[in-house]
Amino acid sequence: MKKILASLLAVCMLFALCACGSTVDLSGIEASLSDIESQVSALAGGEAAAPAEEAAEEPAEEAAPAGETAGTVVIGVYEPQSGDNGAGGKQEILGMQYANAVAPTVEIGGEVYEVELVVADNESSNDKAVSAATKLISAGASIVLGSYGSGVSMAAADTFAEAGIPAVGVSCTNALVTDNDIYFRICFIDPDQGTIDANLLASMGYTNVYCLAMLGEDYGQGLVNYFVKAADELGITVTTDSFPEGNSDFTSYLTNAKNAGAEAIFAPCSTGYAQQIIAQAASMGYDVPLVAGDTWDSGVISEAAVEAGGANPIYCSTFYADGADPEFEAGIKEWINSDPTNLSNNGDTDELSAVTVLGYDAYFVALEALKAAGSTDPQAVLEALPGVSYTGITGEIYFKESGDADRHDAFIKTFDLESGSLVYYDLFSF
């Protein structure tokens, strides 16, 4: 039991000192032991300090009493809150924040710690990766979660590695993210996702597809690459194109797709660009299906599709489909709706994005790593991570030798105009 030494000074100042397993020296204190004990009893809720000789016989390490914590453990949140991927980053953070509200403490090595989330905005920019990662290192993070966006994840890897801090990617699907010693992730990866999306269109009978992604963007270009490889094997004719960062007029690209005879468009890009593609395709009367990866699984996409009158069928591959866990969904939607900031960060809707659910699971994977390590030391957490397993909302999570999650299923969602939201369409196993 935690020991409390109190000395009552001549000017009536009460000084309390807590010591675990140390010998208490009462020499030089001129108040009687009974007076000191009564002062400590009032300060500590009625529990007097034990005599020094009794303290010496106590075990050296004990858990904090109920209601007390041994300290704070920091989980770093490395996510975009601005830039092209800011909307998705905010949704991913929401899942972690809700998980923290559900489980604000964790027991590590027999002691209970408060869990503090420290967020660093990488601004969706590889150029900002190091400064954002450094902020989390300076904050004393034991483990880091993120990022939404593969490029910024890879850009921060060396910084985290030099500091010896493990990182758990949430929705960063580029195959190269875990090509280092410190990055793990809980999502499926682009070689799987690109193959799934190509097979989806093949199953619908489409044989000519136009692919469009942002120039130099690791996520979109990587996903197009794997889509093309699978499409070639499936006998699908593919035309690829790229747009520059900051582009807002997609009419020329949509015209290129139309001239190529494309029956569908595969456009893995951020939600900001997606909104414009949806709106401009509708305004042109080009009503082919629009298909993308997990970034399109967002209420922002639903809102854009509603405004466009559902002119284009929309499909996306993702990590979770509504209805899989009604109890969880009811709880997090109530939490989102209870706070205007949460609602705003979710695009002013309580429609759940799969990255929010993944963010929730990632938080608990981090807790499991801390518990397995028995320490807040990042190196101990890094050593414990390969053996961590956790059954979350999105399914069972454990890691392969590569650091990637051993995932075998992906959900396909489609936009439903009647409900105004993305709904379950199919399940693809790989």
What residues have CB less than 8 Å from 343, skipping those under 6 apart?
336, 337, 349, 350
Structure-token match 């032991």, residue found: 33
Tokens at 405, concatenated? 């999650």
What residues have CB less than 8 Å from 81, skipping those under 6 apart?
89, 90, 93, 119, 121, 123
Q: At what angle do helices 218-234 and 150-163 cross, to 10 degrees?
A: 120
Of 33-47, 161-175, 255-269, the poorest mean pLDDT is in 33-47
User: How does pLDDT run across 113-166, given as a tens digit for each residue?
Assistant: 999 999 999 999 999 999 999 999 999 999 999 999 999 999 999 999 999 999
Return the closest-CA partner of residue 160 out of 381, 355, 360: 381
**Which run of H or of E encompasses 142?**
strand 141-145
Give percent above pLDDT 90 in the chain.
83
User: How does pLDDT run across 280-337, given as a tens digit for each residue?
Assistant: 999 999 999 999 999 999 999 999 999 999 999 999 999 999 889 999 999 999 999 9
Domain 191-318+411-429 is found in CATH 3.40.50.2300: yes
Structure-token match 């009493």, residue found: 65
Question: What's the confidence (pLDDT) of residue 49?
Answer: 37
Question: What's the confidence (pLDDT) of residue 300?
Answer: 93
Which backbone phi and psi does 375 adopt, to 5 degrees? -160, 155
Q: pLDDT grade, residue 69 (50/70/90)? A: confident
Q: What is the C-alpha separation between 197 and 252, in angstroms, rounded?
A: 24
Is residue 412 predicted with pLDDT exceeding 50?
yes
pTM of the model: 0.81
Is residue 55 predicted with pLDDT exceeding 60?
no
Question: What's the confidence (pLDDT) of residue 72?
Answer: 98
Q: What is the C-alpha separation between 345 and 343, in angstroms, rounded?
A: 5
Work out the mean pLDDT of the chain and round it to a whole number: 87
Question: What's the confidence (pLDDT) of residue 365?
Answer: 98
Tokens at 287, concatenated? 């009503």
Buried b (16+ CB within 10 A) or exposed e, 356-376: bbbbbbbbbbbbbbbbbbebb
DSSP string for 245-308:
TT----HHHHHHHHHTT-SEEE----HHHHHHHHHHHHHHT----EEE-GGG-SHHHHHHHHHT
How far is CA 138 from its chain centroid?
20
Q: What is the C-alpha separation between 297 and 320, in angstroms, rounded?
A: 9
Q: pLDDT grade, residue 32 (50/70/90)? A: very low
Is residue 44 predicted with pLDDT exceeding 80?
no
Q: pLDDT grade, residue 392 (50/70/90)? A: very high
Is residue 51 predicted with pLDDT exceeding 50?
no
Question: What's the confidence (pLDDT) of residue 53?
Answer: 35
Tokens at 11, concatenated? 């000017």
Q: What is the C-alpha separation between 74 and 115, in angstroms, rounded?
A: 6
Question: What's the confidence (pLDDT) of residue 67?
Answer: 60
Return the closest-CA partner of residue 123 out of 257, 245, 205: 245
DSSP string for 11-39:
T--EEEEEESSPPP--TT--S-HHHHHHH
User: How does pLDDT run across 215-247, given as a tens digit for each residue?
Assistant: 999 999 999 999 999 999 999 999 999 999 999
Of 11-25, 72-86, 105-119, 409-423, the poorest mean pLDDT is in 11-25
Averaged pLDDT for residues 338-364 = 97
**Which run of H or of E encompasses 231?**
helix 218-234
Compare 326 and 51 and report the one with higher pLDDT. 326
User: How does pLDDT run across 177-219, given as a tens digit for each residue?
Assistant: 999 999 999 999 999 999 999 999 999 999 999 999 999 999 9
Fold of the 71-188+325-399 domain:
Rossmann fold (3.40.50)
Domain residues of the chain, as ranges?
A: 3-56, 71-188+325-399, 191-318+411-429
The answer to whether the CB of 320 falls within 8 A of the CB of 358 is yes
Is residue 414 predicted with pLDDT exceeding 70?
yes
What residues have CB less than 8 Å from 13, skipping those under 6 apart?
none
Averaged pLDDT for residues 23-38 = 38
Which backbone phi and psi does 24 adopt, to 5 degrees? -100, 125
User: How does pLDDT run across 361-379, given as a tens digit for each residue?
Assistant: 999 999 999 999 999 999 9
